[in-house]
């Protein structure tokens, strides 16, 4: 598979790189500012599902290349396997695919897997890099029949770019405009048939018009412990490590359902074991390493616990608005919503309701507190547990 990077997109090491147009639009993750936060930031980077530089360095080596190696997401894999083999038989590119779900669950990986299963070249870019019409025009002009165009953070495409893309993905046409005012001319040029793969952590921020143009909308779910254990074993194998089964289980259970975090914890444990002069990674060394990063049994880090603590102690368990939580713990709302909340909701510690966030009985227990008597009724039937559904748009207490 050939990978082509476009417009400042941060491509993992070891990939083929051909610069196209030169907009500066590197992907930005969440950022905290202020010197006092440096330590916090370092710790965040361990458990945050957002991509860090060291992830980027090792990711490409660890990324599965084929559907067979891609662990979990079985429903999605089955659907893709069928569509890919049908498309290959027809000698056509597969329909456009939208991948959505929290960071670190394997969207970029899956886009590359799809391209390699199709035997296609993949052009990688991101929403924020496609600022001007000419960025899009330049990009689609490089496409050849059957290529895959991957747009990460597709929810960050601006309106102009989005509208230029519509005919490109619907009819494989691009509208070129020249001149100004009365002299404006539009010329429609045909494009080769290609596959657009869009990825986003914010499905709710995508316009319906764009969403409707994808043949497949695929939600990636958090991984269960069995799947994470397989990922830990696979990563250990690639890195040439010997990890005892009990240590594998420890790492998997603390990975917040996220392969990126599982891989990061494997690297941390490896470094720790090396530092301690251990050749094999057993349960003891894994637990010691993980505890030093303040990751608890359920995969919660200090920020998760602080968040639950605030909802429970400062706001009587909720409901409390996202912005209020953000202001109290000194994080930005977006980071909480994209990075921390999805897992807390999925793991049953937090609920999203139209009136705000509520800590569940499980959260009380996790912090060693007794849930209030009315907590059980609060837990019942009021959650909107799917944090990445398209309906997210409408709800922001």
Ligand X SMILES: Nc1ncnc2c1ncn2[C@@H]1O[C@H](COP(=O)(O)OP(=O)(O)O)[C@@H](O)[C@H]1O
Q: What are the residue numbers of the active site?
A: 107-108, 152, 201, 260
Q: How far apart are CA 327 and CA 333, in angstroms?
A: 8
Q: How far apart are CA 295 and CA 319, in angstroms?
A: 26
* Structure tokens belonging to residue 282: 């057993």
The candidate with the shortest Cα–Cα distance to 210, out of 258, 151, 262, is: 151
Q: How far apart are CA 340 and CA 304, in angstroms?
A: 7
Q: How far apart are CA 151 and CA 389, in angstroms?
A: 20
Q: Which does 104 bind (CB under 5 to 8 A by kind): Mg ion, ligand X, none?
A: ligand X
Instruction: Select the span of 71-79, 126-134, 168-176, 180-188 touching ligand X (CB under 6 A).
Output: 71-79
Residues 234-263 that bind ligand X (CB under 6 A): 259-260, 263
Residue with smaller CB distance to ligand X, 59 or 331: 59
Indicate whether 106 belongs to the interface with ligand X (CB under 6 A): yes
Indicate whether 258 belongs to the interface with Mg ion (CB under 5 A): no
Cβ-contact 388, 219 below 8 angstroms:
yes
Which residue of 6, 109, 250, 255 would you call a contact of ligand X, by CB under 6 A? 109
Q: What is the nearest approach in angstroms of ligand X to the Cβ of residue 258? A: 8
Q: What is the nearest approach in angstroms of ligand X to the Cβ of residue 49? A: 7
Instruction: Select the span of 1-9, 107-115, 127-135, 159-167 touching ligand X (CB under 6 A).
Output: 107-115
Phi-psi map region of 366: left, alpha, beta (phi>0 left; psi -120 to 50 alpha): alpha
Residue with smaller CB distance to ligand X, 259 or 317: 259
The candidate with the shortest Cα–Cα distance to 70, out of 113, 17, 22, 116, is: 113
* Structure tokens belonging to residue 77: 């894999």
Q: What is the nearest approach in angstroms of Mg ion to the Cβ of residue 200? A: 10
* Structure tokens belonging to residue 87: 């498309």
Element spanning 125, H or E: strand 122-126
Residue with smaller CB distance to ligand X, 104 or 204: 104
Q: What is the nearest approach in angstroms of ligand X to the Cβ of residue 263? A: 5
3-class SS of residue 93: coil
Indicate whether 64 belongs to the interface with ligand X (CB under 6 A): yes
Cβ-contact 107, 151 below 8 angstroms:
no
Residue with smaller CB distance to ligand X, 105 or 289: 105
List beta partners, residue 198: 98, 151
Q: What is the nearest approach in angstroms of Mg ion to the Cβ of residue 5? A: 13
Q: What is the DSSP letter of 72?
A: S
Residue with smaller CB distance to ligand X, 105 or 269: 105
Cis peptide leading into residue 319 (ω within 30°) = yes
Indicate whether 105 belongs to the interface with ligand X (CB under 6 A): yes
For the chain, helix (H) and strand (E) counts, in that order, are 17, 12
Indicate whether 342 belongs to the interface with ligand X (CB under 6 A): no
Which residue of 108, 116, 253, 335 would you call a contact of ligand X, by CB under 6 A? 108
Phi-psi map region of 383: left, alpha, beta (phi>0 left; psi -120 to 50 alpha): beta
Instruction: Select the span of 30-38, 99-107, 135-143, 259-267 touching Mg ion (CB under 5 A).
Output: 99-107
Residue with smaller CB distance to ligand X, 101 or 371: 101
Which residue of 6, 48, 108, 195 would you call a contact of Mg ion, by CB under 5 A? 108
The candidate with the shortest Cα–Cα distance to 112, out of 62, 72, 57, is: 62
Task: State which residue has the least CB distance to ligand X.
Answer: 106
Q: Which does 231 bind (CB under 5 to 8 A by kind): Mg ion, ligand X, none?
A: ligand X
Q: How far is CA 178 from CA 22, 85, 141, 181, in A?
A: 21, 41, 17, 10
Which residue of 70, 214, 340, 343 would you call a contact of ligand X, by CB under 6 A? 70
Indicate whether 303 belongs to the interface with Mg ion (CB under 5 A): no
Instruction: Select the span of 41-49, 108-116, 118-126, 366-374 touching Mg ion (CB under 5 A).
Output: 108-116
Contacting residues toward ligand X, per CB under 6 A: 59, 62-64, 70-73, 103-109, 231, 259-260, 263
For Mg ion, the binding residues (CB under 5 A) are 107-108
């Amino acid at each position: 598979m050939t990978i082509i990077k476009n417009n400042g997109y941060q491509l993992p090491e070891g990939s083929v790189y051909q610069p196209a147009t030169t907009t500066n639009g590197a992907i930005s993750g969440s950022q905290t500012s202020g010197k006092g936060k440096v330590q916090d930031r370092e710790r965040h980077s361990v458990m945050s599902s957002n991509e860090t530089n060291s992830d980027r360095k090792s990711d490409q080596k660890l990324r599965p290349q084929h559907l067979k190696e891609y662990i979990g997401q079985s429903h999605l894999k089955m659907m893709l396997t069928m569509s890919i083999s049908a498309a290959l038989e027809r000698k056509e590119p597969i329909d456009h695919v939208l991948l959505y779900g929290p960071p670190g669950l394997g969207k970029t990986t899956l886009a590359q897997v799809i391209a390699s299963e199709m035997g296609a070249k993949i052009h990688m870019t991101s929403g924020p890099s496609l600022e001007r019409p000419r960025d899009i025009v330049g990009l689609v002009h490089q496409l050849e029949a059957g290529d895959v165009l991957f747009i990460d953070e597709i929810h960050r495409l601006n309106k102009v770019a989005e509208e230029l893309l519509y005919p490109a993905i619907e009819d494989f046409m691009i509208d070129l405009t020249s001149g100004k005012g009365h002299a404006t001319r539009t010329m429609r040029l045909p494009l080769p048939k290609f596959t657009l793969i869009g990825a986003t952590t914010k499905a709710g921020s995508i316009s319906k018009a764009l969403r409707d143009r994808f043949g497949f909308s695929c939600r990636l779910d958090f991984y269960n412990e069995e799947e994470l254990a397989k990922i830990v074993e696979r990563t250990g194998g690639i890195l040439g490590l010997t990890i005892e089964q009990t240590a594998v289980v420890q790492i998997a259970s603390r990975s917040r359902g996220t392969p990126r975090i599982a891989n990061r914890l494997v690297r941390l444990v490896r470094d720790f074991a090396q530092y301690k002069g251990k050749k094999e990674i057993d349960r003891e060394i894994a637990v010691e390493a993980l505890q030093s990063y303040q990751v608890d049994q359920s995969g919660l880090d200090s920020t998760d616990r602080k968040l639950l603590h605030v909802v429970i102690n400062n706001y009587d368990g909720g409901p409390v608005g996202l912005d209020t939580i953000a202001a109290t713990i000194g994080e930005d709302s977006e980071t909480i919503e994209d990075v921390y909340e999805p897992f807390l909701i999925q793991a049953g510690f937090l609920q999203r309701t139209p009136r705000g966030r509520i800590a569940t009985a499980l959260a009380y227990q996790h912090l060693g507190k007794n849930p209030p008597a009315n907590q059980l009724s609060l837990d019942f039937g009021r959650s909107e547990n799917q944090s990445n559904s398209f309906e997210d748009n409408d709800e922001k207490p």
